[in-house]
Amino acid sequence: MGNKIILCPNPDKDRGLAVTRRARELLEGAGHRVSVCPEYLDRPEEAEGGALLDELPGAFLVVSLGGDGTIMHTARRMTGSKVPILGVNLGTVGFLADLDCGELPSLLDAAAGGFRLSPRMMLRAELMRNGALVYENYALNDVYIHGIVQMLHLTARGDGRKILDFSGDGLVIASPTGSTAYSMAAGGPLVEPTAENIILTPVCPHALAARSFVLAPERVVTVEIGRLRGGAMLSADGNAFEIRAGDTVRVCKAKHKTLIARVGGKTFYDIVYEKLGERT
């Protein structure tokens, strides 16, 4: 019997689970054991004996079928696991996914061990209120602090030393993997995804001196939430929690990494040019 593979489909991207079924047929035809994770499905019975992501022991590979958001959700659920994730892109841009739906036969190479590991640093975010921890989460891409209707005032520190103090729409705290996401759109730098850095990028700051910073991975970033004229949110890879004036957000490098499986020959630079380069 071959390796145990867990398929994690996003039913909003894979309508009727058509791609998932093709992937399962390919893998089982090659002698691999396959389970479909029911955590994303409205009808868990479609998993047909699937395995939850809490039941990873014995799994050789997790295949995420959807977009980058599906991979990020999977990575958070697998925090602390050493099982690699291979992404099949059914979305649009897809920086994290290595395969498109037309490249499903490459799953056989991956299932046979023909992949490279790309370790990715994750971020841990904590929200402190009146000295108590009220929320914590992990992010593969970024932690975003932002106002809902109007701008907010933020003071960001690294190991207690002031880095940024500004009013604006918000602040993105990104990992190298997340440097190609909202941080880039807000004017932040592109960083090789296997690097280890913490990237601070202000969003629409009302201050000429508020620029993006690339910090060492051992820095502990604290962000003090100042005056608010409207609501504000803390978002970890899109998972939002309400924040209030006087709260403090603490972000640091997580102890665990996400292992992304790569089967193609494309480099980070190839992917950036393909996804973001000028079209001729």
Tokens of 171: 């602040």
Cross-strand pairs, 241: 234
The number of beta carbons lying within 10 Å of the beta carbon of residue 133 is 10
**How far apart, in whole angstroms, are the C-alpha atoms of residue 198 and residue 206?**
22
**68, 98, 237, 247: which one is catalytic?**
68
CB-based burial label for 16 (10 Å; 0-12, 13-18, 19+): exposed
**How far apart, in whole angstroms, are the C-alpha atoms of residue 249 and residue 214?**
18
User: Is 109 labeled as catalytic in the residue annotation?
Assistant: no
State residue 268 phi and psi, 5-degree precision.
Answer: -55, -40
Q: Exposure string (b/e) for 96-116, b if CB count within 10 Å is 16 or more?
A: bbbbebeebebbbebbeeebe
**How far apart, in whole angstroms, are the C-alpha atoms of residue 18 and residue 155?**
48
C-alpha dihedral, 48 to 49 to 50 to 56, nearest 10° = -170
> Contact at 8 Å (CB) between 59 and 83?
yes
Radius of gyration of the chain measured on its C-alpha atoms = 20
> Contact at 8 Å (CB) between 186 and 209?
no
**How far apart, in whole angstroms, are the C-alpha atoms of residue 93 and residue 110?**
22
Residue in 165, 156, 218, 211 with CA at minimum distance from that of residue 188:
211
Give catalytic residues, as residue numbers. 68
